[in-house]
Amino acid sequence: MNSGGQNAAANGVYSSLARALSTPSARIRSWSKASGPVSATPRQVAAAASEPAVGAGRSGISPRYATVKNVESFSDKVLDATVGEPTRYLVALPPVDQYAALSRRLFELLIGYRERFQCLTFVALYVKGIRSTYLGHGDPDARFCEVLFDVGIDPAKMTDEVLDALVEEFDDICVEHGSWRYMHSRTTRDPEKRRAVDPNTFYADQLERASAGS
């Protein structure tokens, strides 16, 4: 999918911490000067990005190269993500005016499954603004949000039946809010619902009509 024309939009990470947490940071902290104190707050917001470079004619432009601190911080996050329970991504791509309501409903859905089935551990939400002609079906100013849920999985309790039910409800909510899905994450098995959440359907239909008319 073409999202090369990304806007600098609000970008945050919001987490609902699990009952039992992996703590790789405690082992890594002594290696890196970038690591800071761990907050006891159950919901955390990602640290702000580096200040933009300021110079003659370049005020407000992001620096070309990352600082050593940013590189160390990024390395810590990569190491953290590779330690602990298995994870899964579920990604929605709603129009920008729907992302807040959609995000809340999807978050509540995931927390509900965690409480009912104990199949999830942590639930993290990443939001990124996108301007995409592809998602907008030719509109160069179409604005969307990438709503990415990164969830920890308890493999013993996340059975195929539970996962299928979760994904179907996830996609039902996306359809209600006119949201696309990122099709490389788990999506519905229902063909009609799949057409409704697949942004590629529009282009497939165009090709089919062009082939029929030739």
State residue 78's pLDDT score.
60
Secondary structure, 3-state, the chain: CCCCCCCCCCCEEEEECCCCCCCHHHHHHHHCCCCCCCCCCCCCCCCCCCCCECCCCCCCECCCCCCHHHHHHHHHHHHHHCCCCCEEEEEEECEHHHHHHHHHHHHHHHHHHHHHHCCEEEEEEEEEEEECCCCCCCCCCCEEEEEEEEEEECCCCCCHHHHHHHHHHHHHHHHHCCCEECCCCCCCCCHHHHHHHCCCHHHHHHHHHHHHHC
112 pLDDT higher than 90: yes
Confidence of residue 185 (pLDDT cuts 50, 70, 90): confident
177 pLDDT higher than 90: yes
**Residue 57: CB partners within 8 Å, gap ≥ 6?**
none
Dist CA 147 CA 127 (whole Å): 5
Confidence of residue 81 (pLDDT cuts 50, 70, 90): low
- Which of 21-25, 79-83, 113-117 is modeled with the greatest confidence? 113-117
Mean model confidence pLDDT for the chain: 77
Choice among 18-22, 123-127, 155-159, 178-182 with the minimum mean pLDDT: 18-22
Max intra-chain CA distance, the chain: 66
Q: What is the CA radius of gyration of the chain?
A: 20
Mean pLDDT of all residues in 154-179: 97
State residue 191's pLDDT score.
94
The residue among 19 and 164 whose pLDDT is bigger is 164
Q: Which two tokens stand for residue 65?
A: 């190269």
Interhelix angle for 160-176 vs 99-117, to 10°? 160
In one letter, which amino acid is 4? G
149 pLDDT higher than 60: yes
Residue with tokens 């917001």: 45
**Residue 18: CB partners within 8 Å, gap ≥ 6?**
120, 121, 122, 123, 152
pLDDT tens digits, one per residue of 35-66: 444 444 444 444 444 444 444 444 455 566 66
23 pLDDT higher than 50: no
CATH value of 1-22+86-214 in 3.40.630.30, 3.40.80.10, 3.30.70.20, 3.30.70.380: 3.30.70.380
* Phi-psi label, residue 27: left if phi above 0, alpha if psi -120 to 50, beta otherwise: alpha
Question: What is the domain partition of the chain in residue ranges?
Answer: 1-22+86-214, 23-83
The residue among 139 and 209 whose pLDDT is bigger is 139
Residue with tokens 């009509």: 209
